[in-house]
Each structure stands twice: as structure tokens, then as C-alpha cells.
Structure 1
Amino acid sequence: MTMPRMEVITSVERRRRWSREEKERLIAALLEPGVSVSEAARTAGIHVS
């Protein structure tokens, strides 16, 4: 009989800190014609939920 696979969590995931420049870049992307909020979020690696 084999042992069940186990996942070891070694650290706690922290919230991402956004610099002012990163925030400005994201807002600028949202102001482009035809860009949806969910599209810009996915491009920036943000969960859209």
C-alpha cells in the first residue's frame, strides 16, 4: 500500500504591494479604447473574481 501524497506549506502567501508606477501603468491600460477591466487584470496577473 502506498502512502497518500502530502503537501508541505513552507510560507504564507502575502498580498502583493503595488508601486505608484505599477498602479499608474494599470490605470493607463484601462483608459485604452477597447480594453476591458478583466482583460487588464489578467494581463497584470490579478484574479478577476
Structure 2
Amino acid sequence: VEEDLAVVGRSRLGARESVCVVRSGQERFLVGVSQAGISLLARLGSRAAA
């Protein structure tokens, strides 16, 4: 089964930091991105549940 993975939103917090909403299949996740790496901040659930 092929999963659809996409960055559906991004807000820059600084020169090298941002937060992104990533969609994988029907699920959405809030992730933090920095020089140190990528961190899961929250599971947002499916868009249908929002």
C-alpha cells in the first residue's frame, strides 16, 4: 500500500527553525524542524475528525 506523505503547512520561527503540518494518508502531525533534527510535537488526527 502506497502512502501519501506531504507537508501541508509551514510556519517559520527563525532562520533555521519551523513548525510543519505533515499529512500521511488520512493522519496529520505537527512537527518541529531545526538544525538538531525533526521532532513530533502533536498528532492532529484525520482531517475528517477536525
Q: Which TM-score band (shorter chain)?
A: under 0.3
Q: Which has the larger radius of gyration?
A: 1
Bigger helix fraction: 1
| TM-score, normalization by structure 2 | 0.22
Bigger strand fraction: 2
| TM-score, normalization by structure 1 | 0.22
